[in-house]
Structure 1
Amino acid sequence: MAAITFWVRLDLRRRWRSLLVLTLLIALAAGAVMTALAGALRGASAVERLLDRTLPATVEVVPNDPEFDWDVIREMPQVAAVAETAWTRYYVDGQASEQPVPIGVDAMRTVERPVVLEGRLADPTQPDEAVVTSGFVETSGKGVGDSVILALYEPDTLEALWRDPDLLPDGPAVEIQIVGVVRSYLLSDSALDTRGILVPSAGLVTEYAPNLLGASGAVAMMSGLVRLEEGGDAIAAFAADLVRVTGRSDIDVWSHVDSVEYEQSITGFESNAMLAVAVAVGAASVVLVGQAIARHTTSATAELEVLRWLGMTPRASSWAAALGPLLAAVIGTQLGGAASVVASQWFPYGAASWMEPEPGVDVDLRVLVPGIVGVPLLVAAGAVSASWLAQRSSGSLRQSAAVAGAARAGFPVPVVVGARFALESGQGSRAVSVRPALLGAVAGVSGVVAALIFSSAVDDAIANPARYGQVHQLEATLGFFGEDVVSADEMLAIIAADPDVVAVNDSRSAVAQHAEIQITVYTLDPVGTAIDAVVTSGRLPSRSAEIVVAPYASAAGVAVGDTIELTGTRATRELTVTGFGFVPEGVQNYYNTGAWVSRSEFDSLFGEFMFHTAHIVVREDADPAAVLARLQRAAGDDEKLIQPALERSSEGELRQIRRLPVFLAAFLTLLALGAVGHTLTTAVRRRRQELAVLRALGMTAWQSRAVVVTQASVPALVGVAAGVPLGIALGRVLWRYYADTTHVHYVPPAAWPALLLVVPLALLAANLLAAWPGHRAATMRIGHVLRAE
């Protein structure tokens, strides 16, 4: 023990700089791994933790009737609470807003009660108070205590908005004070709306009802947030009872449980990706920091050989050599743990950050305790193993078949020697492990290719609305609630006659009931050429009694070929599912929450339509804005019934998702560069005698450089050969997983751009890594090396 203590003191005095660097490396590595792991765990649970604290709405009921009696729903046995809201339009500090306005005292109290991040909730009796989300504070620069101006419409102007959406507010301007910053599932920011949310007090509607609901009270879309006693398990019984007590099967019931599951699928993907980043950082740390630990321990073991002659046992020698790295690990891990706690204020990442009920610093003992205890133990085990191997390294030389083949084929000597350095470990004190370089190169190339493939798919989805089923660029409002506002036949004929219009669909829509879900049903009724509706499996309906359903509708457990029962306002029908696909975005539905039927089947199900729209597909090389202006002139469309297609962009969400594979690829690339670079420098140092002998036999300095370049190029070529197909497969699997999870139409992303970029970059990186070791090999003092030998 005295000898070990003596050695540790001596080692600390002599190598304190290298141990300090090692401590910082371990702190950086351990901190990064613990930060990523804690962020992944925090993000995975964010939605669930938020729901546990906020009395979330289970469903949202949209009766499309301003006179609807909400007490009927309140008295239903499944219902715990109901909060009425009105979707209307007003301006906030000069910017249009169409956020819901609460009616009555239940909103944000008995239903969707938000977490208060700062301040308090708005008083429902005061018309001049509001709460906001964090996104609103960030974008507007206004928070608790600040005021905003709400510009309202005169009642008659509000009534005319549907005909001319460009009308500006001409009613009262109300000064509203922000009294709180809140967060719940529905009151949360997202990448889809970067401006944030402002929710006025219910007192605003009480004071300015005509300016928010219109002169008739029928302008705003009224909805009710309903919290069921048994949550999602009661939706089926609630939907069936709703039809019974109201006598209507066309009332929209939007399941927030489905929306939550969708959100959790996104946060789950992000958490899994963050977990993969943690694993990649850990692997890179094991290789890079492990090499530093091995170098320090091996050097110390060689110097301890003197004490071995004085009676120190091999075990004591190994522990003496490992104590320096162990001390560095103990201190470094604690520093890394502290850094991860500080970094937790920027986590969770992505969509989960908008759902986190307790943003800010978080101490996750599930990660910190195992990390602070486990990393020093891992370092100690690695250091002792490295010392033990250094004491016993003799080994036998394993020859590579590829190197032997290159020699028999007559390849130049520098190529053969460089390949041998890259593929054969050597033996004794000259041994250099080559597997980390080969495996690191494969991991780096596959990670970069996978990230490029995934990013390419994301770019395609951002640029191509068809990936979300939106194949049309324009749409025309023809009527609603069973009455056309224009002559539909004349309008459709004018639209179809335009030379840049390639397809028009006469889309009628209404809501039907299937089991516990409501489905917005569209007619597939082409005017001339049919639109190319996106079908993910099966085929479109071609006759009566057939239906194509969107992904959420298919979640009820149906498959292609099954028969489902659909209840409309006219009849209950049995329809055969011919496929799954996407539908147009509408006021009542998203692209993944509807169905297609033929015109004849629609007429059998419904007495009248709820909305009547023409979906217009423009020629690919035409300018939709120019076509829109031309159609409006041709139709005499002073009321602007023809508009750009409704599109709910997912660009922000996709861009958030794209960063995670890039992070993963960055760490895998670091792993590859570190592994190959370490192998090159170590090989030149440990095999300098072999190079010196070859130089003495006539090898030139440039040929010595060529040896190192070849040694670097072999792992790069192995990485390309094995990593490119692995990366293509991994990138496509990741995109398939994300597409299936979030209902994006999967199209295999192209691989050739990644190939054109990765292959030359891999070889360039290998040559750059070889530059310094190659210079050392070319400029070594041959006589000095041979005399030392």
Structure 2
Amino acid sequence: MPFLVAFGVLGLFMAVLVVGSVVAGAVGTGLRRIGVLKAVGCTPAQVVRAYAAQALLPAAVATALGLVAGHLLAVPLLADTAQVYGGAGLGVTVWTDVVVAGGTLGVVALTAAACAWRAGRLRSVDALSVGRAPTAGRGRRAAALAARLPLPRPVGLGLARPFARPARTAATAAAVVFGTAAVTFGVGLSASLGEVVAARNHNAADVTVGVQGPATRGPGAPTVSARTASAVTRAVAAQPGTRRQYGTALTEATVAGASGGVPVLAYDGDASWGGFRMVAGRWLRAEGEAVAAPPSLTAAGAEVGDTVTLTVRGTAVRVRIVGEVLDTSEGGMRVFTDVSTLGAADPDLTVSGWAVELKPGTDADACVTALDRALEPLGLGATSTKYVNGSDMARVMDAMTALLTLMLVCVAGLGVLGAVVPDTHERIRELGVHKALGMTPRQTVVLVPASVVPAGLVGAAVGVPLGLSVHGVVTRAMGRTAGLRLPESVLSVHGAPLLALLALAGTAVAVLGALLPAGWAARVRTATALRTE
């Protein structure tokens, strides 16, 4: 739910922004027509109704197409969700369609009415005389300053343009803000899910022995005798490339407060390097210590520092919780301790799998081959293949994240387009003058995107921190809904290079949104541009 709400809120804000920008631009470029309507006797209220109706006609068609597209996009995602939860087929309810359609058309009508009412209050002569040039003096200082910069003239003219239309520039920056925030949030969420899956797998070992994957598999792990386990440990230690190793034994215990049996993984050796992500406290170091995932601690009513009693084969074993580890296997209902802690309660407990870390530069395949030869008489083998225990829900959420992020980026580009199109249309006479003075089509293409670069930079500078904040809040909320507290390694997934790339991506969205009107402006003939009223 936090995941869906975050994307939904971002999408709503961006949809309102785009609709408002497009409608305001359409009304703004029709001021002369409004003047004509008033000159022939239309009242301000009639002007408002005319423009609201004019905006609602294409909006109604677009809303219908959007509903159809939304249903088509929702079908595969809802099917995947139903498969994960094992439920019946899911669909979009009728009331959702009604709310979406009504809300969209309401936003269009209100925006058009507000913009048209402002124009309708102008005197007829003022509305008829409104030209396409900016208000006298607005942006002149910025243009003079840009002319002094050591930049090509089209770039300087473009960089000065935002100061002539600050409100339109703010709309462009807002579109970039939400687009950059959506990308930052989406990329971070996908990376955080990857960290959670990595923490679930505990895949730090270079070589594993006894099972195909990390030696913590559970009921499927082979049963070996104490003599065989000792021989395997010696064989692994005898390999010249072995840096360190630990063994794993599996048993089951009951814990007060937890229903049913709780899997207990007992380690023979230091397993702190085995890929475990600590949320609080530390990894176990001595006999009588244990670490556990948050759900198992919650079920037992315990926290780090408390003593918990494990009942193993009818024998009570008291362990002190020294750390809280991120672990999602078995619903987080697992306890990790040392073999020596359970020795008296379960004398038959033996190691059934081994995790091996190799020295830097050691050939893992050669080590596996040597271990296979040594372990063949014992009926065990080695592998360097990393065990990957993925998550259906993580895959569904990754797909939804990619789809929703791409949709929001497209909406951000449309928001920029909605602001640049009326601006370019408004200044077509000015562009015609530049063309008459020798500006080439290529320079015109440079000028228009340059005008959105300042807004893109400001939007990216605001959008990246906003996306980081949304990512932190939503990811923590998702962890709480699963009964987990997430470590910093899961939350801090945006490195400095990635943040710089995201900031550049926000500016790129602004530039790409301006390319279409830039191409149109470059193709317009000089005489046509100069004749435009």
Where in structure 2 are the equivalents of 1:82-101 lying within 5 Å? none
Other-structure match for 1:515: 256
Rounded to whole Å, the distance in 2 between the matches of 1:447 and 1:364 is: 26
Cα pair 1:523 1:596 within 8 Å, conserved: yes
Q: The residue matched to 2:319 in structure 1 has which SS?
A: strand
Other-structure match for 1:534: 276
Q: Which residue among 284, 291, 302 is the counterpart of 1:558?
A: 302
Alpha-carbon deviation of 1:572?
2.6
Q: The residue matched to 2:50 in structure 1 has which SS?
A: helix
Cα pair 1:300 1:321 within 8 Å, conserved: no
Change (3 A) 1:511 1:656: same
Q: The residue matched to 2:352 in structure 1 has which SS?
A: strand
Other-structure match for 1:227: none
* Higher-helix-fraction structure: 2
Q: Which residue among 457, 462, 480 is the counterpart of 1:722?
A: 462
Change (3 A) 1:788 1:765: closer
Change (3 A) 1:615 1:531: farther
Where in structure 2 are the equivalents of 1:122-271 lying within 5 Å? 268=1
Q: The residue matched to 1:435 in structure 2 has which SS?
A: helix
Other-structure match for 1:682: 422
Alpha-carbon deviation of 1:314?
0.8
Alpha-carbon deviation of 1:367?
0.8
Q: Which residue among 89, 114, 117 is the counterpart of 1:359?
A: 89
* Higher-strand-fraction structure: 1
Task: Provide the aligned length of Structure 1 versus Structure 2.
Answer: 504
Other-structure match for 1:572: 316
The percentage of counterpart residues that share the same residue type is 22
Rounded to whole Å, the distance in 1 between the matches of 2:419 and 2:102 is: 30
Question: Which digits, 9 at most, give the CA deviation of each residue in 1:340-389, with x for residues without a partner?
Answer: 556654351644443363316x4513312323433333322222222113
Alpha-carbon deviation of 1:482?
9.7
Rounded to whole Å, the distance in 1 between the matches of 2:339 and 2:72 is: 60
Q: Which residue among 433, 436, 439 is the counterpart of 2:171?
A: 436
Q: The residue matched to 1:503 in structure 2 has which SS?
A: strand
Rounded to whole Å, the distance in 2 between the matches of 1:414 and 1:519 is: 70
Alpha-carbon deviation of 1:590?
4.2
Are residues 1:608 and 2:347 paired? yes
Rounded to whole Å, the distance in 2 between the matches of 1:441 and 1:471 is: 40
Other-structure match for 2:229: 488
Query: Which structure has the larger Rg?
Result: 1
Structure 1: 5+ residue stretches without partners: 1-267, 427-431
Other-structure match for 1:669: 409
Are residues 1:617 and 2:356 paired? yes
Alpha-carbon deviation of 1:490?
2.5
Other-structure match for 1:369: 98
Rounded to whole Å, the distance in 2 between the matches of 1:371 and 1:570 is: 60
Where in structure 2 are the equivalents of 1:286-685 lying within 5 Å? 286-297=16-27, 302-303=32-33, 305-330=35-60, 333=63, 336-337=66-67, 345-348=75-78, 350-355=80-85, 357-359=87-89, 362=91, 364-392=93-121, 403=142, 406=145, 410=149, 414-425=154-165, 433-458=168-193, 465=198, 468-472=201-205, 473-476=207-210, 484=225, 486-517=227-258, 518-526=261-269, 531-532=273-274, 534-536=276-278, 537-556=280-299, 557-569=301-313, 571-581=315-325, 590=330, 592-604=332-344, 606-610=345-349, 612-619=351-358, 622=362, 626-637=366-377, 639-640=379-380, 647=387, 649-650=389-390, 653-685=393-425
Rounded to whole Å, the distance in 2 between the matches of 1:654 and 1:392 is: 55
Cα pair 2:180 2:505 within 8 Å, conserved: no
Alpha-carbon deviation of 1:438?
0.9
Alpha-carbon deviation of 1:690?
4.4
Residue identity in the other structure for 1:389: R
Other-structure match for 1:132: none
Cα RMSD of the aligned pairs, angstroms, is 4.3
Alpha-carbon deviation of 1:718?
2.2
Q: Which has the higher contact order (CA 8 A, sep 6+)?
A: 2
Q: The residue matched to 2:248 in structure 1 has which SS?
A: strand
Rounded to whole Å, the distance in 1 between the matches of 2:72 and 2:411 is: 25
Q: The residue matched to 1:359 in structure 2 has which SS?
A: coil
Cα pair 1:495 1:631 within 8 Å, conserved: yes
Residue identity in the other structure for 2:495: A
Cα pair 2:170 2:455 within 8 Å, conserved: no
Rounded to whole Å, the distance in 1 between the matches of 2:40 and 2:196 is: 71
Structure 2: 5+ residue stretches without partners: 123-129
Other-structure match for 1:53: none
Change (3 A) 1:275 1:398: farther
